[in-house]
Chain A
């Protein structure tokens, strides 16, 4: 399986997890460009072309957003909520990726319209396997939603 195409936006504040996630993507031959946002505010700036990303062509949306929940400044759930509220990003595929196995996180994530929820396991092999499934489904099998201009 080799997937290329549009970028993946990885929203992750922990540098170790960032490295490991990128490693897991590579290991599974997912070669999309990875853009990293290190807190929720940066992620929103990227997606809506504001702040440091002012002027970015927002009609070019990431193929997939990998979203951690516990983030500085703006939480992952809040990012998700903002994405679903805006017609430009309503269809954006978002996979929540988090340490937590707390039921409330899962319920909240799906409630706010996450496409999928993956708990980062301690075992890297399991994590890599989960990333492989995400890649297969969201980058290869799943047709990207039509571009919407708001």
Chain B
């Protein structure tokens, strides 16, 4: 922090500056900065108006007073030692200091301390110029504080994620093992001792197996849902029309004798993660396919609503629909509007859809009427025009 050597020997002020310019220089300094002179023992012998204003002391209070009344006790000893070594050695010290005003409040200054030394090199007085930088320091402290907060939160989030990860891992390992035992030994009973059980006994065992298998599917579904939230996502240009065609190709294999009219709009595109959006479309189109299962002629349509720049899409069907009274629950995990006897399922599909859309910063909502079909709307970020 120390600058070039301070004045050695007598002041020699006529470096191309006449006394008029020198007077103006002093005026400029008084206007701009706090200036003070202290004796070699550290007592004020001169202070300008700005110095008084910032320290809140009057001139008469300051003159003759030890400069240490301004100390805030904030700076480490090592730094103060370095300051003193510099100026006692005849060098200029420059740095930032926190001082205390008369009312006890603190202020920050950027200070330069210039020692004036006698021919033997001993300091006779110290000239200091300070500019107040309290606002900047407070802002810096705030930024540092916010950064520290942010880092702490990032660390917390990271550890929560890691915990979630290991939770999912142990769920997928440990929760499934007892289910294998239930299913496996029920099966062993049926196979090895089936002849000693009547039809009701065998039916009970089959129910145990069905229960275990159902729970296995639930565990897989929950894990799948948590994957959708945890997985890192990309922001690519995604061809929704093509993704929908892929989904439909798979659904067609289950179509059998059913008559399903598919209509997918051309050139539907959005910005997002292709894998997540595929999962989303699989669920919406899969639902439309499933809930039109009782229609002689199913009509399933996917398209865009309004302008391209709105990024609003829809999937519409003429299936079983549902009562909008309960639509509030639609996107919660394991929430269903139909019984498994009517339509099979666990109720995880729309929860997954919602998570995918929310991760893309979009919205999803539905309109339906019992027996008149359902329409699901969703918004996605539109693709930026490359031109």
- Tell me if A84 counts as interface (CB < 8 A to partner B): no
Residues of B within 8 Å of A120, CB to CB, are: 176, 180
Cβ of A98 and Cβ of B177 under 8 Å apart? Answer: no
Q: Residue of B at shortest CB range from A21? A: B184
Cβ of B220 and Cβ of A20 under 8 Å apart? Answer: no
CA distance A123 to B176 in the complex (A): 11
Known pairs A17-B177, A70-B173, A122-B176; A101 contacts B220 (CB<8 A): yes
Q: Residue of A at shortest CB range from B214? A: A122
Cβ of B183 and Cβ of A123 under 8 Å apart? Answer: yes
Residues of A within 8 Å of B209, CB to CB, are: 123
CB within 8 Å of A: which B173-203 residues: 173-174, 176-177, 179-181, 183-185, 187-188
- Tell me if A125 counts as interface (CB < 8 A to partner B): yes
Residues of B within 8 Å of A110, CB to CB, are: none
Interface string of B128-167 (1 = CB under 8 A from A): 0000000000000000000000000000000000000000
Residues of B within 8 Å of A125, CB to CB, are: 187
Q: Residue of A at shortest CB range from B169? A: A102
Cβ of A122 and Cβ of B185 under 8 Å apart? Answer: no
CA distance A100 to B165 in the complex (A): 13
Q: Residue of B at shortest CB range from A20? A: B184
**B172 contact from A17, A20, A101, Cβ within 8 A:** A101
Q: Residue of B at shortest CB range from A23? A: B188
Cβ of B169 and Cβ of A127 under 8 Å apart? Answer: no
- Tell me if B213 counts as interface (CB < 8 A to partner A): yes
CA distance A82 to B167 in the complex (A): 27
Residues of B within 8 Å of A70, CB to CB, are: 173
Cβ of B172 and Cβ of A16 under 8 Å apart? Answer: no
Q: Interface residues of B toward A: which range?
A: 20 to 34
CA distance A100 to B216 in the complex (A): 12
- Tell me if A99 counts as interface (CB < 8 A to partner B): yes
Residues of A within 8 Å of B220, CB to CB, are: 101
- Tell me if A121 counts as interface (CB < 8 A to partner B): yes
Cβ of A122 and Cβ of B179 under 8 Å apart? Answer: yes
Cβ of B180 and Cβ of A16 under 8 Å apart? Answer: yes
Cβ of A124 and Cβ of B176 under 8 Å apart? Answer: no
Residues of A within 8 Å of B176, CB to CB, are: 99, 120, 122
B186 CB to closest chain A CB, in angstroms? Answer: 8
Q: Residue of A at shortest CB range from B224? A: A101
Interface string of A9-30 (1 = CB under 8 A from B): 0000010110010010000000
Known pairs A23-B184, A99-B172, A123-B213; A16 contacts B177 (CB<8 A): yes
A129 CB to closest chain B CB, in angstroms? Answer: 12
- Tell me if B63 counts as interface (CB < 8 A to partner A): no
Known pairs A17-B177, A23-B188, A101-B223; A122 contacts B172 (CB<8 A): no
CB within 8 Å of A: which B199-230 residues: 209, 212-213, 215-216, 220, 223
17 contacting pairs across A/B (C-beta < 8 A): A16-B180, A17-B180, A20-B180, A20-B181, A20-B188, A99-B172, A99-B177, A99-B180, A100-B169, A100-B172, A120-B180, A121-B180, A122-B176, A122-B179, A124-B183, A124-B184, A127-B180
A99-B173, A99-B174, A122-B213 known; 9 new pairs, CB 8 Å cut-off, are A16-B180, A16-B181, A16-B184, A99-B180, A100-B172, A102-B169, A122-B179, A122-B183, A124-B188
